[in-house]
Structure 1
Amino acid sequence: MKTQNCFYLLTLLILSLYTTTIGGKRGVLDDNEWHPIKNIKDQPFINVLGEFSVYEYNRRSKSQLQYVKVVKAATRSDNGTYYRLILEAKDGAATELYQAIWLERPWELLRNLTSFTPISNKL
């Protein structure tokens, strides 16, 4: 009987490890889980989020980028809603592309800029 109980416990442990591994999540930036947002020009929230991305980046880094527009946007859900924005911003006379990633959790009243990085050279 004692051996049988050990066998059951071992089986449960192996199954739980297996399901944890199978159900593991991929990274936040994994492309195949992002869903494009269409008609971004008609989405005021996306444009405001793009403008706020540049404002927040400037505040944190003491930069003086100027927001131009959101070029592309996508969203995904994973313990909140992530927004990935590809946007144009001017750094002096040069216009460059940046990627901004936001995490939004309304139930926690949270909206956080998690990443803001340049993604190409000058346009």
Structure 2
Amino acid sequence: MALKFQYLLAILAVIFLCSDVSSAPLSGGRRGAIVGGWRKIDPNNKEVVENGKFAIDEHNEEAKTKLQYKTVVEAEEQVVSGINYKLVIQAIDGTDSNKYEAIVWVKAGAIELKQLSSFRKLD
């Protein structure tokens, strides 16, 4: 009987500890972030702007174009193994101003990894 009681206490302790943990580890420390879901964020945020410029630079290098970054119009983030940033970027192509959707994946750590996952012109 005492052994069953010890098992029961151990199970209750695990349940208590798991239910008392904040959601910060699941959201990558970002308040209000939902793992796997997209959440709107401030397009003027310094990190968002840096990622917008990175997206334009990477696209220019890959596609041999000469787009010029203007601004980030809309921004969303998605917590994955790192963070995906879905950005609507206003850029200048010659004399035309167009909007582009870019997804930039960022993995923070001792060495930050960053990758342009997709880039497309919006109609």
The residue that corresponds to 1:87 in the other structure is 89
Amino acid of the residue matched to residue 111 of structure 1? K
Within 5 Å, give how 1:110-121 maps onto structure 2.
110-120=113-123
Report the equivalent of 1:34: 38
Which residue in the other structure is 2:99 paired with?
97
Q: Secondary structure at the match of 2:85?
A: strand
Contiguous gaps of at least 5 residues in structure 1: 1-31
Q: Distance in 2 between matches of 1:79 and 1:53?
A: 19
Kindly state the Cα deviation for residue 106 of structure 1 after the two structures are TM-superposed.
Answer: 1.9
TM-score by structure 2 length? 0.65
Deviation at 1:95, TM superposition (A): 0.6
Please provide the CA RMSD for this pair: 1.6
Structure 1 length-normalised TM: 0.65
Distance in 1 (CA, whole Å) between partners of 2:119 and 2:72 is 13
- Name the structure where helix makes up a greater proportion of residues: 1
Q: CA deviation at 1:109?
A: 3.3
- The aligned counterpart of 1:106 is 108
Identity %: 30
| In 2: Cα distance, 1:77 partner to 1:101 partner | 13
SS in 2 for 1:60: helix
- Give the count of matched residue pairs: 87
Consecutive aligned runs of 4 or more in structure 1 exceeding 3 Å deviation: none
Deviation at 1:110, TM superposition (A): 1.6
Q: Name stretches of at least 5 consecutive residues in structure 2 with no aligned partner.
A: 1-35
Separation in 2, partners of 1:44, 1:110:
17
